[in-house]
Amino acid sequence: MHANSVCLWCGAGTMAETYNIEPSAVHDLLHSNLPPDPKAQMNAARKSVHDLFRDLDHMDKEISQIKVVLRRLQSKRVALQDYAQAHKALISSFRQFPAEILSEIFIHALPPPHLRLSKLHAPLLLQGVCRRWRDVVQSTPAVWSYIYLDFDRRNYSDDDRCFEFLSTCLSRSGQYPLSISLKARMWPPAQSGDRVLALLTAQCERWHTVHLQGQSSMLSQLSKVKGRLSSLHSVHLNPSSWAEPMPLLDTFAVAQKLRHFAGYLHTELMLPWNSLTSLAISQRTAKALWTILQNCPNLVEFEGRIPEDIWKEENVSECPHVRLPYLRSLSLTLQRTWTQAILSTLTVPVLEYAHLIIARQLPTPGFKYKRFHVCSGLSVLLSQSKCTLLKFKLEGEKRALDPLDIMGCLEALPSLTELDLDAAMSRLLPLTRFMDRPDGAATPLVPGLRKLQLNLDKKFPWDRFQTFLESRRVVGGWLELLQSLILTVHDDMPTYQDALDTLESEGIDGTHGGVCVHWA
């Protein structure tokens, strides 16, 4: 028997053993085709077979005994390992965290808002780990302060279960401010709706964030909390598409701490406009929106949607001029207005981000229209505001704008550092105007561009894209180095394969086919 050395840690140099078996009487015949002698050699061969199988049976018994011993050793090892891990946990830094630190960690482990309570997520998942964690979770009010009830799901058809869940959250959250989200296409749902709403309204002084999606009848039942919303900070209302409009919504009129309001509904609103810093509303005429803006001098963010049927009949020249000294983010849905410069009625000296959604509107036949940045009033807004717009996002329907419109907008935004275009706008992007020409024939657009996000389809000019990247990735050039590129490819196009291969060769990590390619 010969044995090689073997590593006890990694198993390298596996033990090799060679057994010298005593040759049988017919050993010489094993490697030949000669037949055994009918008598003597045949009897010797039968005896050898008998002896060898006897030895095999003996060896099988020894192996079985060794396997039993091995299983015992393996079981003992598992027990030792578990016991060692348990002792190791005693000296773990995580085990030494005070309950206050654990509470903060558990709060940050909560799922995103509007996610229903589940045993697969915090806090129910956390309280099942051990007794200490359960005690910490149940004694941390913040983790129970996020209440999401979706009455359109079957699991809330059980009234008692829904009511018990809500009662548990309200009890364990103590006096912590509540974030509430209710969703119900039909109201009241079964019999639980009124009970749930009554339980919630009893705690309305603790409401901090409210998100309601459903029929206006749900909002009508909230009138009883008017004047009692002393902690309310944010409200988001998104009624069902078939919801009946309310004549007036004044539930939040005296919520003096209200800072964020988003309401996508036709209803007339009474809000503490002067205290709002974030506002998103729709289903209003431009004149009505601008009148509201006059009462919101402290806005930092504003989003307005003007329906297409309203644009067709409205005279934008009747809109009052509005100055918003603190507005940093502006998002508007506009028609391709050929004669009405709606944006020229705004003065926003600290505006940094603009998001425009352009709906297509054909001009009168024979009418010579101006470029979008002129006819929309964007150029006047920039001139009179003297703001430095850093981020610009542009979306639109097909043929809402043309390449000259895009170029005009970008020429008016020389300080731009981030640009985001949807598919319809991306295909109009004048890539050649982004490039540095050696002869200096034209100044490149937005020389300070650092982040570019495009949505691409078959009509995107891929043939010029690689040249554009090379121009914007020159270290030490007078053009700002492009630092972040996000491409969303919507079609399965073999034409962009070469371009994506080039990106990956430069260190871009991405995949193909309807997903994003990130470069940062």
Q: Does 442 lie in the same domain as 411? A: no
pLDDT at 502: 63
pLDDT at 339: 46
pLDDT at 213: 84
pLDDT at 341: 78
Q: Does 446 lie in the same domain as 376? A: no
327 belongs to a structural domain: yes
Q: Does 481 lie in the same domain as 362? A: no
Q: Does 438 lie in the same domain as 401? A: no
191 belongs to a structural domain: no
Q: Does 425 lie in the same domain as 387? A: no
CA pair distance 384, 346, nearest whole angstrom = 9
pLDDT at 417: 93
How buried is residue 171: exposed, middle or buried, by Cβ count under 10 Å (0-12/13-18/19+)?
Answer: exposed
- Choose the final residue of a domain: 374, 399, 416: 416
| 452: β partners | 419, 485
153 belongs to a structural domain: no
Tokens of 267: 């209803």
Q: Does 388 lie in the same domain as 298? A: yes
Q: How far is residue 515 from each of residues 21, 45, 60, 510, measured CA to CA in Å?
A: 66, 72, 58, 8
CA pair distance 24, 22, nearest whole angstrom = 6
Task: Provide the number of structural domains found in the chain.
Answer: 3
188 belongs to a structural domain: no
Q: Does 499 lie in the same domain as 377? A: no
154 belongs to a structural domain: no
- Choose the final residue of a domain: 391, 416, 441: 416
Which residue numbers in the chain have pLDDT < 70?
Answer: 1-18, 114-118, 152-159, 186-193, 240-246, 308-316, 335-340, 360-369, 436-442, 474-477, 490-520
Segment 404-448, tens digit of pLDDT: 889 899 999 999 999 999 888 888 888 877 776 555 556 778 888
pLDDT at 244: 62
- Choose the final residue of a domain: 394, 416, 438: 416
pLDDT at 374: 87
pTM as predicted: 0.76
Q: Does 350 lie in the same domain as 304? A: yes
Asked if 461 contacts 495 with a C-beta cutoff of 8 angstroms, the reply is: no
Q: Does 427 lie in the same domain as 410? A: no
In sequence order, the 6+-apart residues with CB closer than 8 A to the CB of 466 are 498, 499, 502
Segment 273-308, tens digit of pLDDT: 999 999 999 878 888 899 999 999 999 999 998 776
44 belongs to a structural domain: yes
Q: Does 340 lie in the same domain as 320? A: yes
329 belongs to a structural domain: yes
Nearest partner of 153 among 200, 117, 194, judged by Cα: 117
Segment 439-492, tens digit of pLDDT: 555 677 888 888 888 887 777 777 777 777 777 776 666 778 788 888 777 665
Nearest partner of 400 among 430, 377, 434, 423, judged by Cα: 423
Dump the DSSP string for 109-121: TSPPTT----TTS
In sequence order, the 6+-apart residues with CB closer than 8 A to the CB of 34 are none
Q: Does 364 lie in the same domain as 450? A: no
Q: Does 353 lie in the same domain as 312? A: yes
CA pair distance 121, 496, nearest whole angstrom = 40
Q: How far is residue 417 from each of residues 25, 325, 392, 482, measured CA to CA in Å?
A: 92, 22, 9, 9
422 belongs to a structural domain: yes
Supply the range of the domain harboring residue 86.
Answer: 35-90
